[in-house]
Amino acid sequence: MTRVRYFAAAEEAAGRAEETRDEATLGELRAALTTQYPGLGGILPRCAVLVDGERRDDDAPLAGAQTVDVLPPFAGG
């Protein structure tokens, strides 16, 4: 199981700060999240999605991954 943490607008769209998921790849996780949380569909493509602190491709396996962070673009200076 992988802990998925949502930040800022992603947290608002998912309605939670974190949860545990069991999808096999990052691509499967993205697809499941947009199905379960339609509000994420509009922002997820712009989010940085980090697997254990690193950007990964959608075919990256999540077996053994501890954390996936969903970070929307942040404004500021």
pLDDT along the chain (77 residues), means of 10: 96 97 97 96 93 96 96 72
**This prediction's pTM:** 0.92
Look up residue 42 and give its two tokens. Answer: 């509009």
What is the CATH class of 2-71? alpha beta
Residue-level pLDDT at 74? 77
Residue-level pLDDT at 76? 54
Residue-level pLDDT at 77? 44
- Domain map of the chain by residue range? 2-71
Cβ–Cβ under 8 Å, residues 22 and 2? yes
